[in-house]
Amino acid sequence: MSAHEGQERDHWDVVVVGGGQAGETAAQYASQFSGLSTVLVEEDLIGGECEYWACRPSKALLMPVEAQSVGRDLPGVREMIADRSLDVPAVLARRDDIAFHYADPQEVAWLKANNIDLVRGRGRLAGPKQVAVTASDGMVRTITAEHAVVLATGSSALLPPTDGLAAAFPWTSRDVTAVREVPRRLVVVGGGPVACEAVTWLHALGVEETTLVHRGPRLLTMMEPFASDFAARHLTLAGVDLRLGTSVTGVSREDAQDRGVGRIHGGPVTVTLDDGSQLEADELVVAVGRRGGTDDIGLETVDIPAPHGYVEVDDQCAVVGTDWLYATGDLTGRALLTHMAKYQARVAGEAITARALGKPFNGLTTAEYDAVAHVVFLDPPLCAVGMTESVARQRGIEVETAEYDIAGISGAAISREHYDGRAKLVVDPATDTVIGATFAGTATTELLHSATVAIVGRVPVSRLWHAVASFPTVSEIWLRLLETLQQQRRTAPTPPA
Ligand SMILES: Cc1cc2nc3c(=O)[nH]c(=O)nc-3n(C[C@H](O)[C@H](O)[C@H](O)COP(=O)(O)OP(=O)(O)OC[C@H]3O[C@@H](n4cnc5c(N)ncnc54)[C@H](O)[C@@H]3O)c2cc1C
Ligand SMILES: NC(=O)c1ccc[n+]([C@@H]2O[C@H](COP(=O)([O-])OP(=O)(O)OC[C@H]3O[C@@H](n4cnc5c(N)ncnc54)[C@H](O)[C@@H]3O)[C@@H](O)[C@H]2O)c1
């Protein structure tokens, strides 16, 4: 055991419970410029869901799907690819590389390089500034914090109490991202990013019959309706059988058994739908959301409620009602995304440092949520930042919107033969600034950040005219959106005097 694994001491300035992206970043920011000693408590692999069972492996599985699809749409490449399917072992091997082969020596080295100590085991609050850690051999030790404890215990897949579901050992997000055996027939329940992304790569990896069952009337409900329609259209074109407005009422399975993550969990599974019909499949995926990691972390020992399964934090990511307990990442339920988890962790680390050193809070110690960017990596991808039109209107903002078909942009038309894409800006006329943007289509994900900068910087639309995009890139969509906005403003009827 290396010296930095923290066996020799039981007191640090800062104790972080949970070593996912949120925990690692909080530990880094609490200690890097402050001289505060910090320890990370982790019961599993350091790096969390993102590195091994979420973002990284899922994107490694999706990149070949998009590359194949763009290639098939480009003369010269199309002929080379023809109807060949993906090389499944090669795709899974690269996924394993990207998921660090489900081991964390690179993270341990990173902690060491950043002077962060490590205690392996399950952490549980045992009173103010105290954490009891249970090691894998059952030994319990109590460690204490001089200044702060950060909770960063993340989230796990939610399994609804549907009849027969738990007994069927359905796949969850861990199985789909760590897939080892590709089922022939698949049913996926859910309509959020996990369900839509998983169905995309599993179908491309060779599932012959793929059905997606979603209780809502549209997929990806957090996005603009046109983006939901875009996702549904492309999943259908790919051959996925979409059952929207449909709920699962029961599940049964012969010979159900947990054969390991990513392996088929038993015999055929029968899924009963609310219209009385049944689907039979070789595997069932449940992707209906997450539950915060509040179970058995000792919140009751410091009188902190978690009524909705998440821990409520203030703008410094301090748990409401305390000045020493912080929570970051999925556990806060604010925005279940890695970049937001790390952002909250940077804020918490800076706030802990400021409090410990008696310095005032500044711009780095306050978290904002007006411009949460998110990408859904479908084929083609979709992305959005800030408010949708309907959210803005619910908040009483009389927005202006501009929409444009991205296929009309030279950069898009050059990028593939049959480009399909659309963009929408949501503008607050009172401030003349963008408050939301949504893009769907190939090569749009890398332009999302321009919209984030526009929103966060509160850049007036009149100034955006001077941010000239390169030709021929998809970013020229900005010009078309601004022209659309201007045209609408010029032709809008004048209100009666
Ligand atoms: C399939 C999938 C794909 C995703 N793709 C993306 C994406 O492309 N982009 C994106 O931004 N987001 C994505 N997300 C969301 C992203 O994975 C999460 O927002 C992110 O992992 C949250 O990080 P976290 O550190 O808060 O939590 P986690 O990653 O859950 O880490 C929590 C850590 O705490 C540990 N822990 C829990 N309890 C204890 C305890 N009591 N004691 C000690 N340790 C404990 C756990 O073992 C874990 O290591 C995806 C999610 C899923 C499911
Ligand atoms: N590319 C990305 O950034 C990415 C990818 C995957 C996941 N994520 C993050 O992970 C989080 C979890 O994603 P998710 O797709 O699991 O959840 P989600 O909450 O986004 O979507 C779940 C869907 O399931 C439905 N649902 C909820 N309970 C249900 C039930 N009992 N029966 C049937 N349907 C039910 C909901 O109405 C919702 O539409 C998201 O918040 C997202 O931010 C991000």
| 4: confidence class by pLDDT, cuts 50, 70, 90 | low
- Ligand 1 within 6 A of 134 CB? no
3 — pLDDT class (breaks 50, 70, 90): very low
Task: Please count the helices (runs of H) and the strands (runs of E) in the chain.
Answer: 15, 21
Cβ density class 335-361: b for 16+ within 10 Å, e for less: bbbbebbbbbbbbbbbbbbbbbeeeee
pTM above 0.95, yes or no: yes
Given 229, 260, 288, which residue is the final one in a domain?
Answer: 288
Cα-to-centroid distance, 314 and ligand 1 (Å): 21
- State the pLDDT at residue 308: 87
End of a domain among 267, 288, 309?
A: 288
Percent helix, percent strand, percent coil in the chain, to nearest 5:
35, 25, 40
Co-location of 219 and 208 in the same domain:
yes
ipTM: 0.98
Q: What is the whole-number distance in angstroms between the Cα of residue 168 and the centre of ligand 2? A: 21
For ligand 2, atom 17, name the residue with the nearest CA: 289
Alpha carbon of 155 to ligand 2 centroid (Å): 12
- Whether 456 maps to a domain, the answer reads yes
pLDDT score at 6: 61
6 belongs to an annotated ligand binding site: no
pLDDT band at residue 2, thresholds of 50, 70 and 90?
very low
What are the tens digits of pLDDT across the range 327-375? 999 999 999 999 999 999 999 999 999 999 999 999 899 999 999 999 9
**Residue in the structure block whose two tokens are 């990442």:** 329
Question: Does 433 lie in the same domain as 384?
Answer: yes
Mean pLDDT of the chain: 96
For residue 48, the CA-to-ligand 1 centroid distance in Å is: 5
Average confidence (pLDDT) over 2-19: 82
- Give the separation between CA 362 and CA 347, rounded to whole angstroms: 10
> In CATH, what number is assigned to the domain containing residue 299?
3.50.50.60
Cβ of residue 42 lying under 6 Å from some atom of ligand 1: yes
Q: How far apart are CA 410 and CA 360, in angstroms?
A: 50
Q: What is the pLDDT, as a whole number, of residue 23?
A: 98
Whether residues 253 and 280 fall in one domain: yes
The answer to whether 44 touches 51, Cβ cutoff 8 Å, is no
Contact status, residue 39 vs residue 16, Cβ threshold 8 Å: yes
26 CB within 6 A, ligand 1: no
Residues near 358 by beta carbon (within 8 Å), at least 6 away in sequence:
none
Question: Looking at the predicted structure, is the pLDDT value of residue 5 above 70?
Answer: no
Looking at the predicted structure, is the pLDDT value of residue 136 above 60? yes
Across 437-460, average pLDDT: 98
Does residue 194 have a known ligand-binding role?
yes
Rounded to the nearest angstrom, the distance between the alpha carbon of 395 and the centre of ligand 1 is 30
Does some domain include residue 366?
no
* DSSP assignments along 134-181, one per residue: E-TTS-EEEEEEEEEEEE---EEE-----BTTGGG--B-HHHHHT--S
Q: Cα–Cα distance between 403 and 257 in angstroms, integer?
A: 50
Residue 30 lies in a domain: yes
Same domain, 149 and 180: no
Q: Which of 290, 291, 377 to mutate to test the pocket of ligand 2 (most atoms within 8 A of CB)?
A: 290
The amino acid at 88: V
**123 contacts 154 by C-beta, under 8 angstroms:** no
CB-ligand 1 contact for 155 (6 Å cutoff): yes
From 291, 296, 338, 340, mutation site for ligand 1 pocket: most ligand atoms within 8 A of C-beta: 338
Q: Are residues 41 and 17 in contact, defined by beta-carbon separation less than 8 angstroms? A: yes
Same domain, 140 and 181: no
Contacts of 385 (CB under 8 A, 6+ apart): 371, 372, 373, 374, 436, 437, 448, 451, 452, 455
Is residue 118 a part of any domain in this protein?
A: yes
Element (H, E) at 96: helix 88-98
On whether residue 83 sits in a domain, the answer given is no
Residues of the chain above pLDDT 90, percent: 96
337 CB near ligand 1 (under 6 Å): yes
Residue 66 has pLDDT above 60, yes or no: yes
Tokens, residue 91: 């795709």
Are both 269 and 296 inside the same structural domain? Answer: no
| 448 & 328 share domain | no
Q: What are 268-315's pLDDT values in tens digits?
A: 999 999 999 999 999 999 999 999 999 999 999 999 999 889 999 999
From 336, 339, 342, 376, the mutation candidate for ligand 2 (largest count of ligand atoms within 8 A of CB) is 336
Domain that holds residue 348: 3-47+104-156+291-357
pLDDT of residue 7: 66
* Residues within a 6 A CB radius of ligand 2: 160, 189-195, 197, 215-216, 221, 287-290, 336-337, 374-377
Shared-domain flag, residues 9 and 130: yes
Give yes or no for residue 41 CB within 6 A of ligand 1: yes
Ligand 1: nearest atom to the Cα of 177: 1
What total number of domains does the chain contain? 3
- Domain co-membership, 243 together with 174: yes
DSSP character string of 347-406: HHHHHHHHHHHTPPP-GGG----TT-EEEE--SS-EEEEE--HHHHHHTT---EEEEEEG
Amino acid letter for position 415? S
Give the position, in ligand 1's atom list, of the atom nearest the Cα of 336: 19
- With beta carbons less than 8 A apart as the criterion, state whether 316 and 348 touch: yes
Q: Is the pLDDT of residue 495 over 80?
A: no
153 is in an annotated binding site: yes
Residues 258 and 295 in one domain: no
Domain boundary among 326, 357, 388: 357
Q: Is the CB of 177 under 6 A from ligand 1?
A: yes
Report the distance separating Cα 27 and Cα 452, nearest Å: 26
Mean pLDDT of 401-425: 97
**Residue-wise pLDDT tens digits, 474-492:** 999 999 999 999 999 999 8
Predicted confidence (pLDDT) at residue 123 exceeds the cutoff of 60: yes
What is the spatial distance between Cα 122 and Cα 124, in angstroms, rounded to a whole number? Answer: 7
Query: Could you tell me whether strands 116-120 and 38-42 are parallel, antiparallel, or unpaired per DSSP bridges?
Result: parallel
Instruction: Indicate whether 120 pLDDT > 90.
Output: yes
Q: Are 437 and 424 in contact (CB under 8 A)?
A: yes
Say which CATH number the domain at 473 has: 3.30.390.30
Query: Measured in angstroms, how far is the CA atom of residue 219 from the centroid of ligand 2?
Result: 10
Which residue's C-alpha comes closest to atom 21 of ligand 2?
A: 192
DSSP 8-state symbol, 477 = H
Q: Indicate the length of the chain as a whole number.
A: 497
Rounded to an integer, what is the distance from CA 165 to the centroid of its chain?
25
Of 59, 337, 376, the residue with max ligand 2 atoms within 8 A of its CB, to mutate for a pocket test, comes to 337
Same domain assignment for residues 178 and 276 = yes
Q: What is the pLDDT, as a whole number, of residue 474?
A: 98
Does residue 434 fall inside a structural domain? yes
Q: Give the separation between CA 111 and CA 24, rounded to whole angstroms.
A: 8
CB 283 within 8 A of CB 262: no
Note whether 65 and 196 are within 8 A (CB): no
> In this structure, is residue 373 part of a structural domain?
no
Percent of the chain exceeding pLDDT 70 equals 98
d(CA 433, CA 426) in angstroms, rounded, equals 9
328 located within any domain:
yes
Evaluate whether 228 touches 221 at the Cβ level (below 8 Å). Answer: yes
Do residues 282 and 342 share a domain? no
